[in-house]
Structure 1
Amino acid sequence: MATKTLTIENHNETVADGTVLIDFWADWCGPCKQFAPVFEQSSENHADITYAKVDTEDQQQLAAMYGITSIPTLVVYRDGIPVFGQPGALPGQALESLIEQVQGLDMDEVREQWTKQQAERETAEA
C-alpha cells in the first residue's frame, strides 16, 4: 500500500480509525531521506495499516499542531488515539517491532487512560 499525503484538511478522517503511522519530514532533511524507503517498505508489508506523510514545509500548521521541532518524527495512532510519538529515523527492524507493539495494545485500557488524561487536562486548563 502506498503512503498517503496528510494535510490539515484530511487529518481528522485519516487518524480516526485503525492503525495510522505518520511520518513528519522535509525535502532538505537527510535523515528523512534515509527513513523514507524504510517507511515505504513497511507500507508495502502492512496493507491493513494507513501510512501517511506530512511535508512540514508545506503543512506548517499541522506540524505546529503536533509541536514538531525535529524531523523525521514518527507519530502512531490506533483507533483515533495517539499512542506513540518520537523524533528520529528508525531502522526497519525497530519500525516492525513498534508496529507489533501497537497492534498488541489493549485498546480498552488505552481508551480508559486517554479519557482520564483528557479529563485531567481539561481540569488543569479550567
Structure 2
Amino acid sequence: MAILDATESDFDEVIQSEKTVLVDFWAVWCPPCKRLSPILKELDEELEDFNVAKVNVDEHPELASRFGVMSMPTLIVFQDGQPVKKAVGFRHKEALTELIAR
C-alpha cells in the first residue's frame, strides 16, 4: 500500500484502520526526516500487516499539537485509533520494525 499523506480532515479515518498504523510527523526542513523517508517506504513495501501515514507538521500544526509532537521526526504507532507507542528522532529500519512489532 502507498504511504498516506494524512490531513486534519482524514486523520481519524486513517488511524481507525484494522491494521496497525505508523504515523510519521515530519517537516520539509528536517534532515533526519529526509533520511527516514526511504526507510519508511521500504517498510511499507515489505510488511503487509501495517500502514504508514505521514503528517507534515508545518501544514497540519493542529495534529502535531494534538499528539504532543515537539521534535521531528516523531513516530507514533496507532492500534484501533489509539496511540500505543511513540519514538522521537531518526530510527534505523531494524529499530522501526521492532517498534511496530512490540
TM-score, reference length from structure 1: 0.76
Paired AA for residue 80 in structure 1: G
The alpha carbon displacement at 1:82 in A equals 1.0
Q: Which has the larger radius of gyration?
A: 1
Q: What are structure 1's unaligned runs of at least 5 residues?
A: 102-126
The match for 2:12 is 12
Q: Which amino acid aligns with 2:73?
A: P
SS of alignment partner, residue 24 of structure 2: strand
Is the helix fraction higher in 1 or 2?
Answer: 1
What is the TM-score of this pair, normalised by structure 2? 0.92
> Who is 1:56 aligned against?
57
Instruction: Determine what percentage of the aligned residue pairs are the same residue.
Output: 39
- For residue 117 of structure 1, what is the aligned residue in structure 2? none
Q: As a proportion of its length, which structure holds more strand?
A: 2
Distance 2:15 2:36 in 1: 21
How far did 1:84 drift? 0.4
Q: CA RMSD in A?
A: 1.0
- The higher-RCO structure (CA 8 Å, 6+ apart) is 2
